[in-house]
Structure 1
Amino acid sequence: MYLTSVLPTEAHMGVQKRITTVMSTKGQVILPKAIRELRQWAAGTQLIVENTADGVLLKLAPIFPETELKDVVGALQYSGPALSVEAMDAAIASEAKRRARD
């Protein structure tokens, strides 16, 4: 039995094959297709770029800015009598029809 047969393989150690890319003269870096597909990052995807001790980290930018509960509570206040679910559904349908006409 050879020593290498009892040592863990790279796959078992969580080591991945390294993929390289090149930076252009404009500072642009192309992310390899395999990574873009794995992350489902299409053209136009906004990323956050962070400088870390180990290198540069790319993360998907949030769709909406961070908010606190106090900033959004009561944003859609309604003053008036309580409406039934049916009345709310009718109002939504009416607005949808109005927007479809415009």
Structure 2
Amino acid sequence: MQSLQTTRLSSKGQIIIPKAIRSLHGWENGQEFIVEETEQGILLRPYKPASLPKTTLAQVAGCLKNRYQGKAKTIEEMDAAIAQGIRDSGQ
């Protein structure tokens, strides 16, 4: 696939990617790109942060197994600890 279109560099250093190309690739406002310098110019590649593998609740809970050795906490105790953590962080 090759599409040749022209664009201009603005006084702020911005380049507009033509709408047809943005639509073709599904790029929305805020899309991040990796800018790579090549012998022929620059290459823009969409930035895709690494995602965590999908897991089940059982897998997550399994990694916590045998970690906490104290008495089981109630929902109320957990809520109070979370609220205290928020207060302590100043948020």
Give the TM-score of the pair, scaled to structure 2.
Answer: 0.54
SS at match of 1:77: helix
1:40 — aligned with what?
26
SS at match of 2:28: coil
What do residues 36-94 of structure 1 show as CA deviations (whole Å, max 9, x unaligned)?
011111000111110001111000112237xxxxxxxx9x61325xxxxxxxxxxxxxx
Shift of 1:17: 5.1
**1:56 partnered with 2:42:** yes
Q: Which is bigger in relative contact order (C-alpha 8 A, separation at least 6)? A: 2
- Unpaired runs of 5+ residues, structure 1, are 1-13, 66-73, 81-102
1:27 maps to which of 3, 10, 13:
13
Give aligned-pair identity as a percent: 40
**1:77 partnered with 2:58:** no
Cα distance in structure 2, aligned partners of 1:26 and 1:47: 17
> Could you say what the CA RMSD is over the residues aligned between the two structures, in angstroms?
2.6
Q: Work out the number of aligned pairs and report it.
A: 58
- Unpaired runs of 5+ residues, structure 2, are 52-59, 67-91
**Could you say which structure has the larger radius of gyration?**
1
Structure 1 segments (4+ residues) deviating >4 Å: none
SS at match of 1:36: helix
